[in-house]
Structure 1
Amino acid sequence: MEYKFLGSTGIRVSQLCMGTMTFGNEADKVESAAMYNRCRDVGINFFDCANIYSQGKAEKILGDLIAGSRDELVITSKAWGQMGTDINAKGSSRRNIIACVEASLRRLNTSYIDIYFLHRFDPHTALEETLATLDDLVTQGKIRYIGASNFAAWQVAKALGVSALHDWASFKCIQPMYNLVKRQAEVEILPLALSENIGVVSYNPLGGGLLTGKYGHKIESSQNRLGRVEMYKKRYGDDWMLDAAMRYEAFARDNDINPVSLAVAWVAAHPGVTAPILGARNVGQLEDSLRSIEINMTTELYQKLASLTPAPAPATDRTEDFR
């Protein structure tokens, strides 16, 4: 396992990050512990969580698991999503963020969270209020660094400007969706991260399972996430994505490479990505993702894989500059 500096923070994280969205849901305590221990065995020190994962259960499970080695780990959590029935228990208001941080600290059984993400951009709360609140929490030592998940590049850039204006803590890490069939991050998000030296922990490297080689054109009948969860059907159900996934599976098979390992390795090879976030329901699923670090992702292999899916349009209509 290699370790990379997380943007400009000065802290080093493993080249793979373990996501805990399945903890307490698709993976019970026993299976969650098995995946956590396997990650630690291979040197992963970076674990991504959120308050909304299993409505707090994931944080509780992770909190129990990290108890003996907390200071050796980099732990994240997030706020924005609806927690409970209170109408105000959502969003990025000062009221909600403070409540969410306090609740996450209790569930994680820790005195601090290394990286605290805003899970979404909140159009109903002034960015100044949100960032001032996060700065207060950094000053109090309850969170070490702040980040943004699912923000557009302009939203990140605006937040950086507001933080600089007021000398507040600024985003040190961002968390975009990124994989072979979801490449929008290449246009502005990843270049922004490289320009401003911001860490990137991208999620969905397997396209919600599309790039595992299990589906073909049979998503609707699948009992896995792509077949069961409407959000994933909408995200990865376009015909061109299914066609691309079949071409990708054939490429992996012809080159005798596990498609799961290859998909994770391709994401990790982008110079703007610090660590892809892995997701799994059990240790068996996790193993193929862990083996991604064994793949020699040459420039030639990277480009061949990239050619299997359409690159996103550039950020400017002066397309003649890119020909």
Structure 2
Amino acid sequence: MEYRTVGKTGVKVSSLCFGTMSFGGGADKETSKEMFHRTREAGINFFDCANSYSNGAAEEILGECISDCRDEIILSSKVYNPMSADINARGLSRRQIMLEVENSLRRLKTDRIDFYFVHQFDPTTPMDETLRALDDLQSQGKILYPAVSNWAAWQIAKALGISAKEQLARFELIQPMYNLVKRQAEVEILPLAQSEQVGVITYSPLGGGLLTGKYGVDKMPALGRLVEDEAYTKRYSGQSNYEVAELFSVHAKERRIDPASLAISWVMSHPGVTAPIIGARNLEQLNAALASLEIKMTKEWREEITKLSVAPPFATDRTEEIFRPLSSEK
């Protein structure tokens, strides 16, 4: 296992992070614990969770798993999503953050969360209120580092600016979606992270199963997240996504590599990515994800795979400026 430093924190994490969204949902408690122990055997020390995963059950199961190794693992959780029907049981207000961190600590059976993510952007709460609440939690030792998921690059940059100006704890870790068919993070989020030395753990490296070899232009399994989950069906509904999936599957099979393993390895090879988040509902899926560690991805091979999908547009329309060499002429 390779270990990488998260931004400027000095914290070293495994090059794969294990996401526990399936705990208490797609995976029962026994299977969840089996997967946890398998990841530990593989050298993974980084585990990602959220208060809303299985409505708190994922944190409870993960809390049981880490009870005898808490100081050896890096733990993250999140706040934002609704936790009940109550009108205030959601968002990033100081009130909600302070309530939910206590609930997460109780379920996780720990005294601190290493990286505490704001799960989504909250347009109803001033950004500085959210940042000050996170700063207070860091001062109290209940979280070690604030982190951010699913924000646009401009929102993250604005937050970093406020934190610097007001001397608040800044976001030290970003969690964006990133895979071969969803490459928007390449445009601004990953360059921002590299510029500001912020760690990045990316989710959905398999595109909800799209890049596992089970999907193609005229190929659709009877069961699977893209079939059963409306949100994923909509997210990957474009015909071009299935065309890329088919090309990628052929590429992987020509090299006798499991497409799932290769898809994760491709994400892991981006210089701005600290660790992809892998998830699984059973040991078979988990072992395929762990096999990505055995793939030696070269720069040339990564470029070959990258060409299978369409690059996202540049952040500026002045593309002629991007490719024009610097000149001393006025």
TM class, shorter-chain normalised? over 0.9
1:138 maps to a residue whose letter is: Q
> For residues 246-304 of structure 1, what are the alpha-carbon distances to aligned partners after superposition, in whole Å with 9 as ceiling and x for unaligned?
00001111121110110000000000000000011011111011011111101111001
| TM-score normalized by the length of structure 2 | 0.96
Q: How many residues align?
A: 323
Q: 1:168 aligns to what? A: 168
Q: Percent identity?
A: 56
Unaligned runs of 5+ in 1: none
- Structure 1 residue 222, shift from structure 2 partner: 2.9
Unaligned runs of 5+ in 2: 324-330
Q: 1:106 aligns to what? A: 106
1:58 maps to a residue whose letter is: A
Equivalent-residue separation in structure 2 for 1:34 and 1:322 (angstroms): 49
- Structure 1 residue 86, shift from structure 2 partner: 1.2
The reply on whether 1:69 has 2:69 as its aligned counterpart is yes
The reply on whether 1:125 has 2:125 as its aligned counterpart is yes
Q: 1:157 aligns to what? A: 157
Equivalent-residue separation in structure 1 for 2:300 and 2:255 (angstroms): 13
2:27 maps to a residue whose letter is: A
Q: 1:230 aligns to what? A: 230
> For residues 47-84 of structure 1, what are the alpha-carbon distances to aligned partners after superposition, in whole Å with 9 as ceiling and x for unaligned?
00000000000000000000000000000000000001
Matches within 5 A, 1:85-234: 85-217=85-217, 222-234=222-234
2:225 maps to a residue whose letter is: R
1:223 maps to a residue whose letter is: L
Equivalent-residue separation in structure 2 for 1:266 and 1:220 (angstroms): 23
Equivalent-residue separation in structure 1 for 2:192 and 2:257 (angstroms): 32
Equivalent-residue separation in structure 2 for 1:28 and 1:226 (angstroms): 21
SS in 2 for 1:129: helix
1:90 maps to a residue whose letter is: R
Equivalent-residue separation in structure 2 for 1:279 and 1:219 (angstroms): 23
Equivalent-residue separation in structure 2 for 1:149 and 1:219 (angstroms): 32
Extract structure 1 runs of 4+ deviating beyond 4 A: 218-221
Equivalent-residue separation in structure 1 for 2:219 and 2:128 (angstroms): 43
- Structure 1 residue 321, shift from structure 2 partner: 3.1
- Say what the alpha-carbon RMSD is for the aligned residues: 1.0
SS in 1 for 2:275: coil
Equivalent-residue separation in structure 1 for 2:36 and 2:261 (angstroms): 19
Equivalent-residue separation in structure 2 for 1:55 and 1:226 (angstroms): 22
SS in 1 for 2:102: helix
SS in 2 for 1:76: strand
- Structure 1 residue 217, shift from structure 2 partner: 3.6
Equivalent-residue separation in structure 2 for 1:222 and 1:56 (angstroms): 29
Could you tell me whether the CA contact under 8 Å between 1:75 and 1:115 is conserved in 2? yes
Q: 1:43 aligns to what? A: 43
Q: 2:27 aligns to what? A: 27
1:265 maps to a residue whose letter is: S
Equivalent-residue separation in structure 1 for 2:321 and 2:207 (angstroms): 31
Equivalent-residue separation in structure 1 for 2:37 and 2:314 (angstroms): 42
| TM-score normalized by the length of structure 1 | 0.98
Equivalent-residue separation in structure 2 for 1:141 and 1:49 (angstroms): 19
